[in-house]
Amino acid sequence: MSNPTYVQDYNAIVAVLNLYNEGGKHADASLMKPAFNEQATLFGVGADGQLTGGPIQQLFDTIDSAFRPSPQAKGAIVNVDIVGTAASARIDTNDISGFCFTDFFNLLKVNGQWTVVSKIYHTHVAP
């Protein structure tokens, strides 16, 4: 695309998603927290097959209490789809605190800034 606004939005979204990746890699929620809107939510399916999640604070608490730094973790932004002030993105992460995840993010451009408003995820069986 040749629209410079799209390129600027894409780069801004990638910067937000990189905050998430760095927070996970360092097991430090304070690094990822700026990526998320204070009203953001997090949902997934637990080992029991039931819906789990709620306010994004649950993610921050888990990162800080149950994760360990994983400098070897590899995360890839698989796609970013932008329409006006709405966007979605997917990140695949391998070997983050012994887990592999696929995360789907919904983002909104609020007051000129991209912010994650929801995250859903799938936990893969670690190799």
Alpha-carbon dihedral of residues 125, 62, 29, 96, nearest 10 degrees?
Answer: -20
Number of helices (H) and strands (E), helices first, in the chain? 3, 6
pTM, 2 dp? 0.92
User: Residue for token digits 């690094």?
Assistant: 31
Total domains in the chain come to 1
Q: What would the pLDDT profile of 21-59 be if each residue is shown by its tens digit? A: 999 999 999 999 999 999 999 999 998 999 999 999 999
- Containing structural domain, residue 41: 4-124
